[in-house]
Amino acid sequence: MKNYLLTLMYDGSLFHGWQVQNNALTVQSCLQDAVEKILSVRENVTGCSRTDSGVHANMFCCNMRTDREIDTALFKKSLNAVLHTGIAVTEVKEVPYGFHARYNCVSKEYKYLIFNRDYNNPFYSGRALMYPYKIDAELLDNEARDFLGTHDFTSFCAANTDTEDKIRTVKAVSFKRENDFAVFTVEADGFLYNMVRIMTGTLLDINSGKIKPGSIPEIIAKKDRAFAGVTAKPCGLYLNKVNYDL
């Protein structure tokens, strides 16, 4: 048996998330369809996370165990020839048999992209949040630093999640202006359901005055979703980087 690490990128606006669902187009189902066309067997692929409907990936990793001997360069080319056009395979490599795309991940980095002009950009429809109000990027960069460290992020998790352990370690954050865009970047050892979207919504609520500056430590301490800001739309969220000790 062999184990292969596949690295992808995809446009989440075209899919109902990563994980296979009944009667819905997902990235995982499309990838397994493509593998089946090439290998004539439907192999399971295990993802590094479960991105939601509308969420994008600049880098998404999954592993596939198979008894087939694969030429990785040819397999990558073949996959890209038959895959849905919203998905691209950027790398295929063999990894140790015990490697698991989710459990061996040491950190992930997400970016949230905000188009910050007083008009909508049709070329970024479904790929960035359209936000017409002035953003104080310097203020929000300072506010975002309160996310750093190891905390119980219950306040920044969707209320209906069944995840019991809500302690995560945020390793790096930034909120920067890049021409017409404002970009929130956060790296952590793991993320809760809707965590980055709620972080983003909270920062934008601070920007608009709905939440006072300096409130993030208090919101974290409350351990109550009701005290954080809105959940930003999925369209601006990108899984940007997945880190392994390989």
- Model confidence over 103-137: pLDDT tens digits? 999 999 999 999 999 999 999 999 999 999 999 99
Phi, psi of 197 (to 5 degrees): -65, -35
Total residue length of the chain = 246
Q: Which residue has the tokens 């895959």?
A: 83
Residue 153 has pLDDT above 90, yes or no: yes
pLDDT at 39: 96
The stretch 27-52 carries a mean pLDDT of 95
pLDDT tens per residue across span 15-38 = 999 999 988 999 999 999 999 999
Instruction: Kindly report the three-state secondary structure assignment for every residue of the chain.
Output: CEEEEEEEEECHHHCCCCCCECCECCHHHHHHHHHHHHHCCCCCEEECCCCCCCCEEEEEEEEEEECCCCCHHHHHHHHHHHCCCCEEEEEEEEECCCCCCCCCEEEEEEEEEEECCCCCCHHHCCCCEECCCCCCHHHHHHHHHHHCEEEECHHHCCCCCCCCCCEEEEEEEEEEEECCEEEEEEEECCCCCCHHHHHHHHHHHHHHCCCCCCCHHHHHHHCCHHHCCCCCCHHHEEEEEEEECC
Has this prediction a pTM greater than 0.85? yes
**67-109 confidence digits (pLDDT tens):** 999 999 999 999 999 999 999 999 999 999 999 999 999 999 9
Which entry of 52, 136, 152, 189 is annotated as an active-site residue? 52
Residue 161 binned pLDDT confidence (cut-offs 50, 70, 90): confident
pLDDT exceeds 90 at position 192: yes
Quick check: 246 pLDDT over 90? Answer: no
pLDDT of residue 98: 97
| Residue 10 binned pLDDT confidence (cut-offs 50, 70, 90) | very high
In this prediction, residues 199-212 reach a mean pLDDT of: 98
| Catalytic site includes residue 146 | no
For 202, list phi and psi in degrees, rounded to 5.
Answer: -65, -45
Work out the percent of the chain whose per-residue pLDDT is above 70. Answer: 100
* pLDDT band at 236; cut points 50, 70, 90: very high
